[in-house]
Every structure is written in structure tokens, then in C-alpha cells.
Amino acid sequence: MYWKIDVIIILSSGLTIISLLTTNVTKAQNFQTIQIFNGQIGLHPRESQGHTFSVPSSAKNIHLKGTISAFGGAIKTITIRLYDSSQCPPPDSQGRIHFGSCNIMFNHDYSTGDKIDKYIPHGGKFYLYLQDSSPFFNKVVAGNIYVEYLP
């Protein structure tokens, strides 16, 4: 980033403007990272695996990032769903959450090798689910999913 500074000098003979260009001024960005999923899992048809994570409420510029791949079956896709816990009913007496009653933040199918970069508008507690959306085939899911934010 460059900053341009104009200096105005008034002389008895008239107005003179001198432009100065400062050298490369950069502002350091100290992003924090929360690892959510890193590795490989097997999923049966329509099965999901959930991950819970929290981002500080004061966080800014929050992004869910990573890469994901699915192997097995004719269509190599995996569904990723993100829920804000404040938009879900409380867990039942056995600790289960009825996600059908939640407002979903996003629901997206990813193909093998796709990159993930989704903006999250605020901090809080979240549920991330990886689902084999195939009704017939088992899938092996491999990837690295994390959240990056400015404190």
C-alpha cells in the first residue's frame, strides 16, 4: 500500500504543491486460526460427522477455509453444512440437537479438490457437518478445514 501526501507551500510568488510518495507502508494482519477438521474419515450413505467450534465474539474478517475431497461412489461430492448454535434449539435430554429446526448458515456440495472460503459474519459457537449425500455409496472424506479471523 502506498500513501500519497501533498504538501502545500504558499510563497509570496504564488501557490506551489509538492507531492511526496512514502515508501511501502503495510499494516500487519495477525490472523488467528482454529483447526476444525484435518484428516480422513469414512461415511456411510447419508451419514454425517459433526464438529463444534467457537470464534470469539470480538473477531473480525472471519472465514471458513480449507480443502476437501471425497472418494467412493459415482459422484465425488461431500455436503458441508454450517449452523450457528444461537439459531438452533437447545440440546434434548440426551444431548442431541434437532438440526431440522435450526437456521442453516450455509449448505454446499463440494467436489473432490475444491477449496472452501466462506465468510462468517460474526463470532459465536458453530456446528460444522460433513455429510455423504449419496443414498447408495460409502465415501471416504479427506481434507483440512479451519477458521481464520482477526482478533
pLDDT in tens, 5-52: 444 445 555 555 554 444 444 456 799 999 999 999 999 999 999 999
Opening angle at CA 63, ends 142 and 99, nearest 5: 70
pLDDT in tens, 70-104: 998 888 889 999 999 999 999 899 988 888 899 99
d(CA 52, CA 37): 10
Pairing of strands 48-55, 104-111: unpaired
d(CA 105, CA 103): 7
d(CA 10, CA 25): 29
Instruction: Compute how many other C-beta atoms are within 10 angstroms of the C-beta atom of residue 130.
Output: 24
Would you state the pLDDT for residue 32?
A: 96
Give me the torsion for CA of 13, 17, 20, 21, rounded to 10°. Answer: -160
Q: What is the mean pLDDT of residues 116-130?
A: 97
Q: Is 135 left (phi over 0), alpha (psi -120 to 50) or beta?
A: alpha
Domains for the chain: give ranges and CATH numbers. Answer: 32-150 (2.60.120.680)
pTM value surpassing 0.75: yes
Contacts of 86 (CB under 8 A, 6+ apart): 124, 125
* Under 8 Å between Cβ of 91 and 43: no
